[in-house]
Amino acid sequence: MDGGNLKEILSVSALNERIKALLEEGFALVWVEGEVSNIRRPASGHLYFTLKDAKSQIRAVIFRTFFGRGENRTPGFEIEDGLSILCRARLTVYPPRGEYQIIIDAVEPKGLGALQKAFEQLKVRLEAEGLFDRSRKRPLPFLPARIGVVTSPSGAVIRDILTVTGRRFPSVDILIAPVRVQGTEAAAEIIGALDDLQSVQGIDVIILARGGGSLEDLAPFNNEGVARAIARSRIPVVSAIGHETDFTIADFTADLRAATPSAAAELVVPLRADLRETLQSLHSRINRSQRQATQRIRERIADLSQRLRDPKRRLADTRLALDDNIDRMRTTLSHLGAVRRRELINFITRLEHRNPRVKIVQSFETIESLGKKLRAARERLDQQWKNRVRSSLALLDSLSPLSILHRGYSITRRLPDGLILRDTGEVLTGQEVDIRLSVGHLQARITGIGS
Amino acid sequence: MSKEKFEEALEKLETIVRRMEAGEMTMEESLKAFEEGIKLARFCTKKLDEADRRVDLLLRQEGEMTTKPFAGEAREPEQ
């Protein structure tokens, strides 16, 4: 326990320097595994964390230079709290603080491979972002006019696609956007091709294809940039990475995932025979419909015309009823007529009994005899009258002053008043008188009056 | 050429057939529909009978996109 060395007194710096030399030499290369915790990434870009297990912990750092530039982080996955990692490191002591830590220069996730881990992490992130959402998936065109194919222009993949599309529907145009499908440039080329196809006229579906491969081979299809290029494509994208069981990020992001390039071709291009069949079926259905429509209308017309006949029948019935009634009426009438006729004959007989003809004849005879009597009576009366007139005329004639005048008498009238003079007192001497003779007149003046 | 028109035509045809099958059309309507349907069917058949296709390669030369006919299998092996 005693030694001259013990008496050596060291400064803190000297001690730390010695420890540093000892440790850094003794642990120049170690493999260590543990769980990441307490992760920090200051502005310097270096990554600080604690690596720990159940009982112990150690400080760890990954220098910025270790990470490549941009997205191409060499580990390919994110180092995050809780991650179990296996690291290659060397121990380093930091004298200013008297602390030691490990500087990691290689790291891979424990359990999963680095690529797998990267894949899982990207998947979780993009999924959370909604890039795989079902609602984002666009429907494929029913029959594309032109298919954009992003793949290697050589090899089985493009051949399969051309064969299958050509067989299914020979008139669908294909535009191949040639890319490398693996290697460091592949992702960038695929992104470029997807973006280029957006501006090509007439492309209405894109197949992104590759003929399978290991996880390393498929790296471009697990690339975030490729996933985003698929997501921003306005044209539906069908992925065909040629891996039956494992899905790539591209598969998740694509609008439709096909297991193989041939399957993609089948999904994208309808089978012409099917279409023909559909068309033929539609054709026969339309013909049948038309026939049925015509038939239906025919039946309707038939039905209607049948129902139209109804009133006719009713008319016939009415006519029959009318005839019947007329018959019955006629019978009734004729019967009634017989009765009436008998009554009439009866009346006529009775009337005959009272026929006034005999009376009329008698009356005519009476009238005739009366007429004769009347005529006779009138003739007698006429004769009597004639006789009386004749005697009266004679008498009259004898009495007429004219006849007196004729016998020599005259009539004297005083003038001017015409008074017939019967008395001399009725005139004065000198007065004029008119003397009527049997023939002619005399004008005279009274010259004297006798007694 | 116009395959979009093909799809449209086929859809139209299907609609017409369904409507006719529903039997709710007047005689005139159904005659009209029938005529149109037959026309569409002929159009679709014609489209189906087309046989030629173009297979082109999309190329970017000095930033300009061009296409040239795809000559079939290229020599370079798939990587």
DSSP string, A169-197: -TT-EEEEEE---SSTTHHHHHHHHHHHH
Residue A166: its chain B contacts at CB < 8 A? 53
Domain contains B76 = no
Residues 2-61 of B with CB under 8 A from A: 2-4, 6-7, 10, 13-14, 16-17, 20-21, 23, 25, 27, 30-31, 34, 37-38, 41, 44-45, 47-48, 50-60
* Domain-located, residue B52: yes
Residues A143 and A227 in one domain: yes
Last residue of a domain, which of A270, A305, A335?
Answer: A270
Domain of residue B64 covers: 3-69
CATH number at residue A18: 2.40.50.140
Mean pLDDT, chain A, rounded, equals: 86
Determine, for residues B25 and A293 on separate chains, whether the beta-carbon distance falls below 8 Å: yes
Residue A80 in domain: yes
Count of structural domains, chain B: 1
User: Is A289's CB within 8 Å of B30's CB?
Assistant: yes
Query: Is B49 inside any structural domain?
Result: yes
Q: Which residues contact A451 (CB under 8 A, 6 or more apart)?
A: A424
Question: Domain check: are A141 and A256 in the same one?
Answer: yes
Q: What is the pTM of this model?
A: 0.53
A 10 A CB-CB count for A290 gives 19
Is A36 in contact with A49 (CB distance < 8 Å)?
yes
How far out from the chain centre does Cα B75 lie?
34
Q: Which residue has the tokens 């005879």?
A: A365
For residue B48, tell me if it sits in a domain. yes
From B38's Cα to the closest Cα of chain A, the distance in A is 7
Which whole number is the average pLDDT over A405-422?
86
Residue A217 lies in a domain: yes
What phi and psi, each to the nearest 5 degrees, are found at residue A443?
Answer: -100, 125
Strands A441-445 and A432-436: antiparallel
pLDDT tens-digit readout, A189-208: 999 999 999 999 889 999 99
State residue A147's pLDDT score: 95
For residue B74, tell me if it sits in a domain: no
Instruction: Clarify whether residues A104 and A136 are in a common domain.
Output: no
Chain B hits for A144, Cβ within 8 Å = 3
Q: Are residues A17 and A99 in the same domain?
A: yes
Residues of chain A contacting B30 with CB distance shorter than 8 Å: 289-290, 293
CA angle B68/B69/B73 to nearest 5° reads: 115
Q: What is the pLDDT of residues A144-192, one digit of tens each?
A: 889 999 999 988 899 999 999 988 988 899 999 999 998 888 999 999 9
Using the beta-carbon criterion (under 8 Å), do A154 and B34 form an inter-chain contact? no
Residues A136 and A217 in one domain: yes
Q: Search chain B and give the residue with CA nearest A194.
A: B58
Closest residue in A to B43 (Cα) is A279
Tokens 């004298």 belong to A95
CA distance B35 to B16: 10
Same-domain pairing of A147 and A261:
yes
Residue A330 resides in a domain: no
- For A222-280, write each residue's pLDDT tens digit: 899 999 999 999 999 999 987 666 788 999 999 999 988 999 999 999 888 888 888 88
Burial of A294 (0-12, 13-18, 19+ CB in 10 A): middle
Of the candidates A154, A174, A282, the beta carbon closest to that of B76 is on A154
A173: distance to nearest CA of chain B, Å?
5
Q: Find the closest chain A residue to B2 by CA distance.
A: A145
Is residue B28 a part of any domain in this protein? Answer: yes
Say how many CB pairs under 8 Å bridge A and B: 135
Cα–Cα distances in angstroms (integers) from residue B61 to residues A189, A294, A348, B58, in the given order: 14, 63, 138, 10
A262 with A136, same domain? Answer: yes
> What crossing angle do the helices spanning A156-168 and A261-268 adopt, rounded to 10°?
30
User: How close is the nearest chain A Cα to the Cα of B59, in Å?
Assistant: 7
Domain count, chain A: 3
Provide CB contacts within 8 A for A212, sequence distance 6+: A241, A242, A243, A260
Q: For residue A171, which phi and psi values (nearest 5 degrees)? A: -105, 20
Beta-carbon neighbour count of residue A186 at 10 Å? 22
Q: How far apart are CA A89 and CA A150, in angstroms?
A: 42
Closest-CA distance of chain A to residue B37, Å: 7
Residue-range definition of the domain harbouring residue A411: 404-445
Q: Give domain status of residue B57, yes or no.
A: yes
Q: Which pairs count as long-range contacts for B62-65, CB under 8 Å and 24+ apart, including other chains?
A: B65/A196, B65/A199, B65/A200
Q: Token match 């594309």: residue? A: A144
Let me know if residue A369 belongs to a domain. no
- Phi and psi angles of residue A67, each rounded to the nearest 5 degrees, phi first: -80, 135
pLDDT above 70 coverage of chain A, percent: 94
Last residue of a domain, one of A270, A294, A313: A270
Residues of A in contact with B60 (CB under 8 A): 192, 196
Residue A327 is assigned to a structural domain of this protein: no
CB–CB of A200 and B58 under 8 A?
Answer: yes
Has residue B77 been placed in a domain?
no
pLDDT score, position B74: 38
Residue A283 lies in a domain: no
Q: Is the pLDDT of residue A132 over 70?
A: yes
Strand partners, A92: A101
CB contact under 8 A, B77 and A154: yes
Long-range contacts of A53-61 (CB under 8 A, 24+ apart): A58/A32, A58/A34, A58/A100, A58/A101, A58/A102, A59/A99, A59/A100, A59/A101, A59/A102, A60/A36, A60/A87, A60/A89, A60/A101, A60/A102, A60/A103, A60/A104, A61/A101, A61/A102, A61/A103, A61/A104
Last residue of a domain, one of A270, A297, A312: A270
